[in-house]
Copies of this chain bind each other. A is one copy, B any other.
Amino acid sequence: MNKVPSNIMALTSNTSNKRETVCIFGTGDFGRALGHKLIQSGYPVVFGSRSTQKSSLLPKDAEVLSHAEAAQKAAIIIIAIQRQYYNFLAPLAEILHGKVLVDISNNLKINQYPESNAEYLAQIVPGAKVVKAFNTVSAWALQSGTLDASRQVFVCGNDMEAKQMVMDIVRALGLTPLDQGSLLAAQEIENYPLQLFPMWKFPVLLSLGLTTFFFFYCLIRNVIYPYVTENKDFSFFIAISIPNQICPVLALILLALVYLPGVLAAIIQLYRGTKYHRFPDWLDKWMLCRKQLGLVALAFASLHILYTLIIPTRSFVRWRISSQTVSQALNNKTEALDITNAWLSDSYLALGILGYFLFVLLGITSLPSVSNNVNWREFRFVQSKLGYLTLVLCTAHTLVYGGKWFLSPSSYRWYLPDTYMLSLIVPCIVLVVKFVLVFPCLDRPLTQIRQGWERNPQHSE
């Protein structure tokens, strides 16, 4: 501490010592990164290490002492050590008594141990106040200062004051502390950074399954059927034509699946006559991933738009149009405009465009920063009213697309109906049930139930 630091970044270590010393046990990668950051934010830092010989990797302004000496210098001790070495803290229990121990460890697998690392630490050093924090931050992000990823630091602990002290440090480092409650939450916090989009698992798996099914379904109808019956090679349909059948089908089905659980919940509430019974677990989980389902549906819809818009530039389509025109010219025949066709073609395109437009609006309002800026009524209006309008438009788009050939026997190949017919089943069910639920004889009791009224109030929980 004898030299004034000449870093580009402003250090406050040489200012009036208002901030309390922080001790870090362990001189590993994360311990060092955290030490650097703490010193930059004005905290005096003491490292506790087996070898007190100062490594050149440690911050210059930090002291390095033995574990026992370092612990005595600070009220807060950050345990930057892996769980399997926690045992060595047992002999220090007396010195650590009353201190705030910050467990920052992570595991390699979800639920690797029966108890969380933080609870394990609390068992080894029973007299200390254990707080779980910092495990969601990466050493690299701390070092580079570019916190592109999350600034959120989940904090939990049984002692309110200790938690407050740690949250102050988190804030001083430019991060956002989020109080998650008592140490019971540590397990969840330790699992958090190991998760890979947990809410997206079901929507993505579902859409992968449906994609596979519809891919083979389309393959049979559009490639194998013409090959077997007419010996024509349409294998290149795999690149664009088949994806452009799968994408709209999945977009429509997934969008309908966003609104199906709400409809089911309304039926269950009407049947039970109360809103205070819990829904079955599968329905609860389904309702919680509706946003993700909707966004996956939007992704498929966007792909459908791109695939459709690219159609006129496809070599196959150009060939087909030009050969039709040539054969017309050679047969000396000019076709008159078919007004019905023009109407059907234009209205199914218009319905699709409007449906997609509203769908994108829904997607934009689900961005965190946008949904934070609307009130509850506005959010409900967009997600419910506009959402159903989107579903109606997209279903109508598909119905009009079928047009004159809808349900006509010629559109069956090997008894298999066209994919768009399959896609209409779920949305039509949702819309019909929703339409029934809007009738006053059902809507009135449902509204009352949702405001807390009960048909049979002496229910047991």
Return the chain B residue nearest A302 by Cβ.
Answer: B357
Q: Which residues of B contact A151 (CB under 8 A)?
A: 372
Contact A375 B18, beta carbon cutoff 8 Å: no
Query: Which applies to chain A's interface (DSSP): helix, strand, loop or mixed?
Result: helix
Known contacts A325-B322, A372-B368, A452-B28: A357-B303 contact under CB 8 Å: yes
Contact B350 A243, beta carbon cutoff 8 Å: yes
Whether a CB of chain B sits under 8 angstroms from the CB of A209 is: no
Q: Which residues of B contact A380 (CB under 8 A)?
A: 149
Whether a CB of chain B sits under 8 angstroms from the CB of A425 is: no
Contact B160 A16, beta carbon cutoff 8 Å: yes
Most chain-B CB neighbours within 10 Å: which of A239, A370, A377?
A239
Q: Which residues of B contact A193 (CB under 8 A)?
A: 375-377
Give the segment of A253-261, A340-348, A416-424, A431-439 that binds chain B: A340-348
What is the distance, in angstroms, from A177's C-beta to the closest C-beta of chain B?
10
Alpha-carbon distance between A417 and B300 when the two chains are bound, in angstroms: 37
Contact A136 B375, beta carbon cutoff 8 Å: yes
Alpha-carbon distance between A291 and B147 when the two chains are bound, in angstroms: 12
Whether a CB of chain B sits under 8 angstroms from the CB of A314 is: yes
Contact A312 B314, beta carbon cutoff 8 Å: no
Q: Which residues of B contact A325 (CB under 8 A)?
A: 322, 325-326, 329
Whether a CB of chain B sits under 8 angstroms from the CB of A161 is: yes
- Copies in the assembly, this chain: 3
Contact A10 B182, beta carbon cutoff 8 Å: yes
Cβ contact of A309, chosen from B192, B309, B329, B332, cutoff 8 A:
B309
Contact B181 A9, beta carbon cutoff 8 Å: yes
Contact A375 B150, beta carbon cutoff 8 Å: yes
Contact B452 A29, beta carbon cutoff 8 Å: yes
Contact A376 B137, beta carbon cutoff 8 Å: yes
Cβ contact of A314, chosen from B345, B356, B460, cutoff 8 A:
B345
Contact A353 B174, beta carbon cutoff 8 Å: no
Whether a CB of chain B sits under 8 angstroms from the CB of A408 is: no
Known contacts A10-B185, A375-B195: A346-B314 contact under CB 8 Å: yes
Whether a CB of chain B sits under 8 angstroms from the CB of A327 is: yes
Alpha-carbon distance between A375 and B141 when the two chains are bound, in angstroms: 12
Interface string of A310-340 (1 = CB under 8 A from B): 1111111011111111111110111101110
Q: Which residues of B contact A447 (CB under 8 A)?
A: none
Q: Which of A54-80 contact B (CB under 8 A)?
A: 56-57
Interface string of A245-275 (1 = CB under 8 A from B): 0000000000000000000000000000000
Whether a CB of chain B sits under 8 angstroms from the CB of A40 is: yes
Whether a CB of chain B sits under 8 angstroms from the CB of A152 is: yes
Q: Which residues of B contact A349 (CB under 8 A)?
A: 239-240, 310, 313-314
Contact A374 B150, beta carbon cutoff 8 Å: yes
Q: Which residues of B contact A346 (CB under 8 A)?
A: 236-237, 239-241, 314-316
Alpha-carbon distance between A347 and B314 when the two chains are bound, in angstroms: 10
Return the chain B residue nearest A400 by Cβ.
Answer: B239
Q: Which residues of B contact A459 (CB under 8 A)?
A: 56
Contact B192 A375, beta carbon cutoff 8 Å: yes
Alpha-carbon distance between A95 and B276 when the two chains are bound, in angstroms: 34
Whether a CB of chain B sits under 8 angstroms from the CB of A86 is: no
Contact B196 A233, beta carbon cutoff 8 Å: no
Whether a CB of chain B sits under 8 angstroms from the CB of A12 is: yes
Contact B194 A353, beta carbon cutoff 8 Å: no
Whether a CB of chain B sits under 8 angstroms from the CB of A369 is: yes
Q: Which of A186-208 contact B (CB under 8 A)?
A: 188, 192-197
Contact B10 A181, beta carbon cutoff 8 Å: yes
Alpha-carbon distance between A188 and B322 when the two chains are bound, in angstroms: 64
Can you name 7 A-B residue pairings with CB atoms under 8 Å?
Answer: A9-B185, A193-B377, A310-B353, A314-B345, A316-B342, A319-B342, A368-B369
Nearest 9 A-B pairs (CB), nearest first? A315-B345, A10-B185, A10-B181, A369-B369, A18-B160, A239-B346, A149-B379, A329-B329, A10-B184
Q: A12-B181, A148-B371 are in contact. List 20 more A-B contacts (CB 8 A).
A: A10-B185, A12-B158, A16-B159, A18-B160, A56-B460, A141-B376, A193-B375, A195-B375, A196-B377, A197-B374, A197-B381, A235-B339, A236-B342, A236-B347, A237-B346, A239-B343, A308-B313, A316-B337, A318-B321, A368-B372
